[in-house]
Amino acid sequence: MQTPDLEALLQECPPSSMLRLADWYAEPLVQAPARALLEQARRRRQTALRAGQPAFTARLIELIAGGWCGQDLAMHHASLGAECSAPQEQALLELVTGQLLISRRLDGAHACLKRGFALAAPLLPAQDYFRVLKRHALLEALPLGSRPAPACGLDELLTEAAVIRRLQGRQARGGRADPADTLG
C-alpha cells in the first residue's frame, strides 16, 4: 500500500489504468494546500480536455482536494461517476470517496468502500486483494456518524479500529483478562 503524492500524480496525470486500486488516496490535507491542489487540478483538467486527453486523474484529484476544502463530496462523486468510462475508474471513484468519508468517520463510508472493493476485486493482483480486504475489514470497526470527526490518516484509522476490535473482543469474552497476557 502506498500513499501517492497527489501533486506529483497531478503533474504526471497518468491514465486511470495506471492508478493503483490498493493505494490510500485520502491522507488529510490542510485548507491552504488543499485549495492550491484543487486549483492545479482544475487547470490540469481543462488543459487535458482542450487537448482531447483523458482527464480522470485530474478529476479524481479535484474530488480529493475538494473534499478537504469542505466541498460537497456527494456532488463531486455524482459528477465524476457520470464521466467514468471504465471499471477501474468506477472502482477508484468508490474507493477514494469511501476513504475520504472514513477519514472523517462519516456515514456512507463503509458502503462506498464495499462498492469500491466489489468493483476492484477482479482487477486486483492477489497480494493487493488481500491487503485491501484486510484493511476494509478492520475499518468496519470504526463507528460512523453524520457529523465529521477530526480527519485522520490511514495509520491512525487502522490503530483506532484495531483498538475498537480488541475492546469488542474482550467484552464478548467476558470475565477477567489475565494481566500477564500481553498479546490478548
Mean pLDDT of 10-31: 92
Cβ(26)–Cβ(66) below 8 Å: no
pTM summary value: 0.89
Instruction: In whole angstroms, give the CA distance from residue 83 to residue 116.
Output: 16
Report pLDDT for 179. Answer: 52
Looking at residue 114, its pLDDT comes to 98
Look at 106 and 2; give whichever has higher pLDDT: 106
User: What is the mean predicted confidence (pLDDT) over 116-123?
Assistant: 97
Cα separation, 19 vs 21, in Å, equals 6
Q: Are 160 and 180 in contact (CB under 8 A)?
A: no
**112 vs 172 pLDDT, higher one:** 112
* In contact, 104 and 149? CB cutoff 8 Å: yes
Rounded mean pLDDT of 52-67?
A: 94
pLDDT reading at 55 higher than 60: yes
Closest CA to 100 of 45, 108, 5: 108
